[in-house]
Structure 1
Amino acid sequence: MSSYLKLVRIHNVVGAALGDFTGYVVASEWRFDIKSIILSILIVALVAAGGYAINDVYDIEIDKINKPDRPLPSGKIKLKNAVILSYATMIIGVFLSIFLGYIQFLIALITAVLLFYYAKSLKRQGLPGNLVVALTTAFSIFYGGVAFFQGSWLERVIIPTVYSFLLTLGREFVKGIEDYEGDKTYNVKTLATTLGIKNAWKISRIVLISMLIISPLPLLLGFNVFYIIILIPFFYFTLRAILSETTSKGGGYARGFLKVSAFLGMIAFIIGSLPIYILV
């Protein structure tokens, strides 16, 4: 069982579910409809799980170099079982989205298709693959807002969606730096393998610094002061990532820091969207 949880990268799936929850509470300002929020979280988790599993299916040879302890290259899970799991979870997730509405169904379907083609071919095409990962990750937050789909949900949810996109894009760039050796061996076109590690680092830092510069904007849309308070450790870990050494090893450290940043960012939006009378 633990191998299957590793295959779908359960911690990342939980992160995607938290992203959906973030989008929902930000859009709704904590006015819950239990059915829609549970359904949207389940949909996002299932589609994400399928995406991570199919990614490992297509990455099995590369992972023999970069991550030999993963379930597929280590032989803990059969390739056939991984394929069945990935298709089943994505199909079920997309099917369930029908019960939320046709727009929600369309977004879930597009996300599933993008994740499949990312794993199959886009991942090896450099920037297009990075953009797909950033977009589908940001969709987790956006989907929560779409599940609420009332009032001025779009105006409120678009900001955390953009932040998620930029943070994930920067993380994808540093991940390519971390995986430089294996990607170069199998001719995977990341920023690091095409432009070099130093240039990839420069671009990564520009993206992440841009995100930090615009981070106070939610205060203009009525987010409470706790948003800024929680943003302090977010700044700390993001800056640690930005200041990591300009090497493939530094890319590994930066990716770890940015995972923490992503979690703190969602918490900042969740708490920051609470009506102030609840907090006092």
Structure 2
Amino acid sequence: MEILKLIRWKNLLMIALTQYLIKYAFFEPFGVNITLNLFGFSLLVLATLCIAAGGYVINDIYDVETDLINKPDQVIVGKTISEQAANNLFIAFNVIGVGIGFYLSHLVGKSAFFATFIIVSGLLYVYASYLKPMPLIGNLVISAMVALSIIIVGLFELIPAITPGNQETQLTFFTILWDYALFAFILNLLREMIKDIEDIDGDHKAGMNTLPIAIGRERAKKIAFAVSFIPLGGAIYYLINYLYGNMVAVVYFLVAIIAPMLYIVIKIFMAETKKEFHFISNMIKLVMLLGMLSLIIYKYSLLD
């Protein structure tokens, strides 16, 4: 059970759900040409989850000092799981993830895609060991990794199946997937900024130099407040320009995405305590999940 907590099983479940939704709720209902069967796609999901799990493990290894201050009841490394065991898990997850990535890259005839798994694995280590304490840079890197977990489905499913006859359709679906990845990137960046404000005390004592430490808590909150308008504006723009003619899509976006984002914007403006910022962080994660679930409604939208 402690290992499941260490690898953030709930976050991994969300990644897997998102990737399966892309394939079975977004690609297949429209008859898009795809590359992998269920077994091959499940291997892609497994590879993604293994590398993500490795990232969570190495992050906790390097975060023990700050976590003892910010969330002492949730510290696992050094308490219920030794640092050596955690390092072994990190290595094992990455070996499995990169190994599956090597197999899949050759399976789809795109051996260069193998580099994606190597780069992500390396970046997650560099993030935990070096980039995380730096203002914004660490936030941008980890948010890019979140976006890549969406884009990688298009890389392995759509790109290898492109032919002269279906190129326009394949690229259209890849573009929509890119929009979702950008939405996830911005939301996760906002969440990382909020978490840095929430954890400012522990991070400061650990000698980190996150954005709220570098420029002050209030200035960081103002920047997060400004950033929160980007996903809100993006959702409104998407609704007006692509989904406005379909009532199901309109209602879903208004209720499940735009309304919660408006609430988040207001809460960021008013937030003062650690508890309030923690609540905002969880709300952003919920909006990310609801945003991914919107893939289900596309078969009812104007795309068909």
* In 1, Cα distance between equivalents of 2:84 and 2:102: 28
Instruction: Say whether residues 1:19 and 2:18 are aligned partners.
Output: yes
Instruction: Say whether residues 1:239 and 2:262 are aligned partners.
Output: yes
Q: Does the Cα contact within 8 Å between 1:126 and 1:190 map onto a contact in 2?
A: yes
In structure 2, give the amino acid aligned to 1:234: I
Which residue of structure 2 lines up, in the alignment, with residue 127 of structure 1? 136
Instruction: Say whether residues 1:137 and 2:146 are aligned partners.
Output: yes
- Once the two structures are superposed, the pairs formed by residues 200-239 of structure 1 within 5 Å of their partners are 200-215=220-235, 216-217=237-238, 220=241, 225-231=247-253, 232-239=255-262
Q: Does the Cα contact within 8 Å between 2:248 and 2:301 map onto a contact in 1?
A: no
**Aligned with residue 298 of structure 2, among 248, 273, 278:** 273
Instruction: Say whether residues 1:96 and 2:122 are aligned partners.
Output: no
Q: Percent identity?
A: 29
RMSD: 2.4
* In 1, Cα distance between equivalents of 2:298 and 2:94: 30
Post-superposition CA distance 1:171-201 (Å, at most 9, x none)? 0000001101001111212111111122111
| 3-state SS of 2:76 partner | coil
Question: Aligned-pair distance for 1:68?
Answer: 1.3
Question: Aligned-pair distance for 1:41?
Answer: 1.3
- Once the two structures are superposed, the pairs formed by residues 36-75 of structure 1 within 5 Å of their partners are 36-72=40-76, 75=79
Deviates more, 1:245-254 or 1:162-171: 245-254
Q: Please tell me whether Structure 1 or Structure 2 has the larger radius of gyration of its CA atoms.
A: 2
* In 1, Cα distance between equivalents of 2:301 and 2:258: 23
Moved over 4 A (4+): 218-225
* In 2, Cα distance between equivalents of 1:27 and 1:108: 24
Q: Does the Cα contact within 8 Å between 1:46 and 1:93 map onto a contact in 2?
A: yes
| 3-state SS of 1:45 partner | helix
Deviates more, 1:14-23 or 1:161-170: 14-23
Deviates more, 1:72-81 or 1:140-149: 72-81
* In 1, Cα distance between equivalents of 2:215 and 2:143: 20
Deviates more, 1:257-266 or 1:235-244: 235-244
In structure 2, relative to structure 1, the CA distance for the partners of 1:228 and 1:41 (3 Å cut) is farther
Q: Does the Cα contact within 8 Å between 1:234 and 1:264 map onto a contact in 2?
A: yes
In structure 1, give the amino acid aligned to 2:101: S
Q: TM-score, normalised by structure 2?
A: 0.83
| 3-state SS of 1:124 partner | coil
* In 1, Cα distance between equivalents of 2:250 and 2:121: 34
* In 2, Cα distance between equivalents of 1:64 and 1:214: 37
Deviates more, 1:209-218 or 1:46-55: 209-218
Count of matched residue pairs = 276
Instruction: Say whether residues 1:174 and 2:194 are aligned partners.
Output: yes
In structure 2, relative to structure 1, the CA distance for the partners of 1:4 and 1:98 (3 Å cut) is same
Q: TM-score, normalised by structure 1?
A: 0.89
Instruction: Say whether residues 1:85 and 2:89 are aligned partners.
Output: yes
* In 2, Cα distance between equivalents of 1:18 and 1:118: 25
Question: Aligned-pair distance for 1:24?
Answer: 3.6
* In 2, Cα distance between equivalents of 1:29 and 1:221: 20
In structure 2, relative to structure 1, the CA distance for the partners of 1:200 and 1:276 (3 Å cut) is closer
* In 2, Cα distance between equivalents of 1:248 and 1:191: 17
In structure 1, give the amino acid aligned to 2:103: F
* In 2, Cα distance between equivalents of 1:176 and 1:188: 10
In structure 2, give the amino acid aligned to 1:265: G
Deviates more, 1:227-236 or 1:109-118: 227-236
In structure 2, relative to structure 1, the CA distance for the partners of 1:135 and 1:79 (3 Å cut) is same
* In 2, Cα distance between equivalents of 1:97 and 1:64: 35
In structure 2, relative to structure 1, the CA distance for the partners of 1:248 and 1:142 (3 Å cut) is farther
Q: Does the Cα contact within 8 Å between 1:167 and 1:258 map onto a contact in 2?
A: yes
In structure 2, relative to structure 1, the CA distance for the partners of 1:213 and 1:35 (3 Å cut) is same
* In 2, Cα distance between equivalents of 1:189 and 1:13: 28
Instruction: Say whether residues 1:34 and 2:38 are aligned partners.
Output: yes
Question: Aligned-pair distance for 1:248?
Answer: 4.3
* In 2, Cα distance between equivalents of 1:170 and 1:229: 25
